[in-house]
């Protein structure tokens, strides 16, 4: 409670740089490794078919680091670059959010209901260098990609491969 009161009185020290992925998630992962805290899931995802994924803080931290390496490696993204992520709320969506925090890449989330025209407008307005989506929206992206001069990388979250797209699962 004293921390809460200190924050309200603006007496709590605020770090100059804060990164949720490294300052919070990795700390919880370390606590989990050292068995100092309960091992509750960091992410527990269940789809409509009853399939589920449960990741510990350690697993979420490790996987998000792999995705961060994917973004800065094969996707050639750097701190401050923008990435448009148009995915349903699947586990990869959460990994990408944390990975963007790790790398300083700016995530621009989009709903899966966007049309090709909507996607084109958002890519042009944001100057996104990368787009990440599923095979459902990939044809819409392909139909407008030539108009989006800043778009360099297309990453697909799918079991299948698509020409001119990097595959998330293969890279992971």
For residue 18 the two structure tokens come to: 């804060």
Tell me, what's the pLDDT at 137? 97
Tell me, what's the pLDDT at 44? 94
83 three-class SS: strand
The overall average pLDDT reported for the chain is 91
What does the domain layout of the chain look like in residue ranges?
Answer: 17-167
Structure confidence by residue, pLDDT tens digits, 45-95: 999 898 999 999 889 999 999 999 999 999 999 999 999 999 999 999 999
Q: Which helix (H) or strand (E) holds 8?
A: helix 2-8
- The DSSP letter of residue 105 is P
Q: Angle, nearest 10°, between helix axes 91-103 and 57-72?
A: 70
Which comes out higher in pLDDT, residue 45 or 5?
45
N residues, the chain:
172
Structure confidence by residue, pLDDT tens digits, 13-46: 767 788 888 888 888 888 888 876 667 899 999 9
Query: In the chain, what percentage of residues exceed pLDDT 90?
Result: 71
Which comes out higher in pLDDT, residue 1 or 145?
145
Is residue 146's pLDDT more than 70? yes
Query: In the chain, what percentage of residues exceed pLDDT 70?
Result: 92
- Say if residues 94 and 119 touch (Cβ distance below 8 Å): no
- Say if residues 140 and 164 touch (Cβ distance below 8 Å): no
Q: What is the mean pLDDT of residues 142-146?
A: 97
Q: What is the mean pLDDT of residues 138-150?
A: 97
pTM, two decimals, is 0.86
Tell me, what's the pLDDT at 4? 65
Tell me, what's the pLDDT at 169? 95
The topology (CATH level 3) of 17-167 is Rossmann fold (3.40.50)
């Amino acid at each position: 409670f004293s921390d809460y009161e200190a924050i309200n009185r603006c007496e709590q020290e605020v770090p100059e740089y804060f990164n949720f992925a490294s300052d919070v998630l990795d700390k919880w992962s370390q606590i989990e490794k050292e068995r100092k805290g309960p091992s509750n899931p960091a992410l527990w995802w269940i789809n409509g078919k009853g399939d589920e994924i449960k990741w510990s803080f350690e697993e979420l931290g490790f996987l998000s680091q792999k995705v961060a390496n994917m973004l800065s490696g094969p996707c050639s993204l750097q701190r401050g670059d923008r990435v448009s992520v148009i995915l349903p709320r699947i586990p990869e969506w959460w990994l990408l959010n944390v990975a963007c925090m790790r790398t300083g890449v700016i995530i621009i989330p989009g709903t899966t209901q966007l049309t090709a025209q909507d996607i084109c407008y958002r890519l042009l307005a944001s100057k996104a260098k990368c787009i990440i989506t599923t095979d459902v929206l990939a044809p819409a992206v392909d139909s407008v990609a030539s108009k989006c001069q800043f778009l360099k990388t297309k990453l697909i979250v799918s079991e299948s491969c698509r020409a001119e797209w990097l595959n998330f699962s293969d890279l992971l």
